[in-house]
Structure 1
Amino acid sequence: MTSLDKPTTTDQDSSEAEAAKAVTEAALFEAFGGVRGMVETVLPGLLFVTIFTIDKDLHVSAIAALGVSLLLVAVRLVRRDTVKHAFSGVFGVAFGVVFAMMTGNAKDFYLPGMIYTLGLAVAYIGTTLAGVPLIGLILGPVFKENLSWRTRNPGRKKAYAKASYAWGLILLAKCAILFPLYWWADTAQLGWVLVSLKIPPFLLAVYLTWVFLAKAPAPIDVFAEMEAKEQAEKERKAAQTRSSEA
């Protein structure tokens, strides 16, 4: 093999970088549910506002939204897929339905979700200020690094902090649009704006997370370390046994 045939360090670095990006992309896809998760997030609210815009019937709109949420969970159960994203959607819709039915105000269907968004924004920023970025707590197990990034991987902790700030600020900006509309707009107007703001801010936050993590140091696989330690311990004990028998 000539020197021209040998892979250069730059080529190897490029391949490693691409592999790291692919791993990060797959992890984010798993953590946040991918395209299907986004559909399950949007569909109940879209159905509610569509029906309410047409006939102004709170009960029909609410029952339809809850029904489609339950249907999405049933489909996942039948297919034996993970149900965490669909179940979170059901709980969110159920809270909205109960709240709207109790107050008789159709706009209150959206209020629990808006309060949750505000709370999540505060959590992202607050945990980052406390030195434990929420996005790191969410993605650590997905990357098999758990909390090793806190003390052993400062570059990765910094990336998680940036990503958490991004999520927090994006969600705060979303709340800054929705809460005034809750007071000033009618139900249909609020609903259509809310539906339109479901996906774009989410995609922006996921993209920024991907950018920050793709440039960060690789995660430390603590599970692989534990397995290696267990294997080394077994080999040590086996060697001691052979030595004692000899």
Structure 2
Amino acid sequence: MSDSPRPDDAASGPESRDVAQPSASEVFGAALGGAARRAGLDPAEGKSTGHVVWRAMGGWRGIFESVLPGLVFVITYTVTIDPATGDGDLLLSLVLSVGIAAIFTVVRLIARQPIAAAVGGLVAVGVAAAFAAFTGEASNNFVPGFVTNVVYGSALLISAFVGWPIIGLAVGFLMGDGTAWRRDKRKRRVFFWLTIVWAGLFAARLLVQVPLYVADNVTALGTLKLVMGLPLFAPLVAVTWLVVRALYPRADRDPSYGR
């Protein structure tokens, strides 16, 4: 019997297995691209920029789920402020806020609709409420949000400066480009700055809100958190989408794309 290697043996050798193994950046980029597609950011659907932004926000339900719990907390706490102490009813504010987030989740469960966003919102509201209740300080309801902004902003900033901007990874796999965009200087530069701008959004939230937290101005802090949420997120999604369209003009072959 011949000892010469068979073709299928060679194909299954260590080198071929190494080639088949995706890199960490490819795995991460594919995950980001998949998440963006599930959020409605799929260029293959040929949707308009306005539709893409609306889907990214989750429509009316997504807006209510994102805004209402925080809005109720701010309004309730402000309305119940005792002039003598300067403090509002923290327990009532937290109960109403968490309760509304829970209702949104239950409604989705009953309607058998995707509950990931609602559950994520409920967990975020619940963790913030638990932290505030445990410390007895209403302003601590916003601390988990600060941590989230630090983590996201840092990840975006670091990824940009190490040459693997997160926006580029997400867009590359969303547009079927993989990591090939890194060989294009123009795309590399644009994705770098887009990632920096997104990092700037999280940094701006911290720069504006942390001083209000230190001053224990719960009403102003809660109000600005809402103002710096979806009202800033939506335009940035639109700008990012428009830039991506400019970078990938082949998508414009679909006459309905980006109208």
Unaligned 5+ segments in structure 2 are 1-42, 81-87, 252-259
CA pair 157-90 structure 1, distance change in 2 beyond 3 A: farther
Pairs aligned (count)? 202
Structure (1 or 2) with the greater helix fraction: 1
Paired position in structure 2 for 1:163? 194
- After TM superposition, the structure 1 stretch with the greater mean CA deviation from structure 2, 99-108 or 75-84, is 75-84
Is it true that 1:123 corresponds to 2:155 in the alignment?
yes
Is it true that 1:46 corresponds to 2:71 in the alignment?
yes
Paired position in structure 2 for 1:190? 221
Q: Which amino acid aligns with 1:102?
A: F
Distance in 1 (alpha carbons) for counterparts of 2:46 and 2:238: 12
Distance in 1 (alpha carbons) for counterparts of 2:113 and 2:190: 31
Question: Any idea what SS the aligned residue of 1:22 has?
Answer: coil
Distance in 1 (alpha carbons) for counterparts of 2:141 and 2:231: 21
CA deviation map 1:125-145 (0-9, x unaligned): 11111222223444555x363
More RCO (CA 8 Å, sep 6+): 2
Identity %: 27
Alpha-carbon contact 2:131-2:140 (below 8 Å) kept: yes
Paired position in structure 2 for 1:90? 122
Paired position in structure 2 for 1:178? 209
CA pair 144-60 structure 1, distance change in 2 beyond 3 A: same
Paired position in structure 2 for 1:108? 140
Q: Which amino acid aligns with 1:117?
A: N
TM-score, normalised to structure 2's length? 0.67
Unaligned 5+ segments in structure 1 are 1-17, 221-246
Alignment of 1:143-154 (within 5 A): 143=174, 145=176, 147-151=178-182
Distance in 2 (alpha carbons) for counterparts of 1:79 and 1:153: 46
Distance in 1 (alpha carbons) for counterparts of 2:238 and 2:56: 13
Alpha-carbon contact 2:171-2:244 (below 8 Å) kept: no
Is it true that 1:67 corresponds to 2:92 in the alignment?
no
Alpha-carbon contact 1:25-1:210 (below 8 Å) kept: no
CA deviation map 1:36-92 (0-9, x unaligned): 323311111101111111121111111111111111122222333332222221121
Distance in 2 (alpha carbons) for counterparts of 1:76 and 1:213: 33
Distance in 1 (alpha carbons) for counterparts of 2:183 and 2:49: 19
Distance in 2 (alpha carbons) for counterparts of 1:28 and 1:77: 25
CA pair 102-26 structure 1, distance change in 2 beyond 3 A: same
Is it true that 1:22 corresponds to 2:47 in the alignment?
yes
Paired position in structure 2 for 1:57? 89
TM-score, normalised to structure 1's length? 0.70
Q: How far off its partner does 1:168 sit?
A: 0.7
Question: Any idea what SS the aligned residue of 1:147 has?
Answer: coil
Aligned Cα RMSD in Å?
3.0
CA deviation map 1:106-147 (0-9, x unaligned): 110111112211221121111111222223444555x36373
Is it true that 1:33 corresponds to 2:58 in the alignment?
yes
Alpha-carbon contact 1:160-1:212 (below 8 Å) kept: no
